[in-house]
Amino acid sequence: MKMNIYIGDGSKIKTRIRNQHCSGNVEGSSLRKHVAKNIGYNLSTTTREKGSAKTRLDLIDPSFGENHINEYMRSGKWKYVNCISAAEAKDFQFFAIQKINPPTLFNINKGSWDIKTKDRYEELFKILIDCPPLSYDETKVIPNLPGVYLFLSDTEPKYFKK
């Protein structure tokens, strides 16, 4: 049975899913940070010369852990719904987080959403829940538009073995 792991939004959801959640590093994705911590990896934060924070896996070879996270993210399934704008996607994300049952594993920020949009969001939520789950390879077909996605997995990250 698939668990609801995370609901997110993006102005370009295909890029968000494929390049930031299923590739890349923990610095570019709060979902990857949650997965890393759940697996048991420690994170280290340093300050760059320009003052911004740099977050990495605290490993001798961080690429080992990042590849492990990639494998986990690519082993799950993805559902999505497109929205008319990035602003709508951000607002709808909080509606979906509050509505989904059972709740997601990693959505900590429950946020608020515009109550005037309830009917629209009910429609979007039905589309999100009813759409067929896509494998990582199948996410290539997702339009790179604003939207909300749901990440599902049979396995909680801490139990995922390489």
Question: What total of structural domains would you count in the chain?
Answer: 1
Task: Indicate whether this model's pTM tops 0.85.
Answer: yes
Q: What is the pLDDT of residues 47-95, one digit of tens each?
A: 989 988 889 999 999 999 999 999 999 999 999 999 999 999 999 999 9
3-state secondary structure of 5: strand
Q: Token pair 């590849």 is at which residue?
A: 67
- Nearest CA among 26, 30, 43, 40 for reference residue 107: 30
Q: What is the pLDDT of residues 125-157, one digit of tens each?
A: 999 999 999 999 999 999 999 999 999 999 999
Q: What is the pLDDT of residues 19-58, one digit of tens each?
A: 999 998 999 899 999 999 999 999 999 998 998 888 999 9
Q: How many residues does the chain have?
A: 162
| Residue 75 lies in domain | 3-159
Is the distance from CB of 14 to CB of 144 less than 8 angstroms? yes
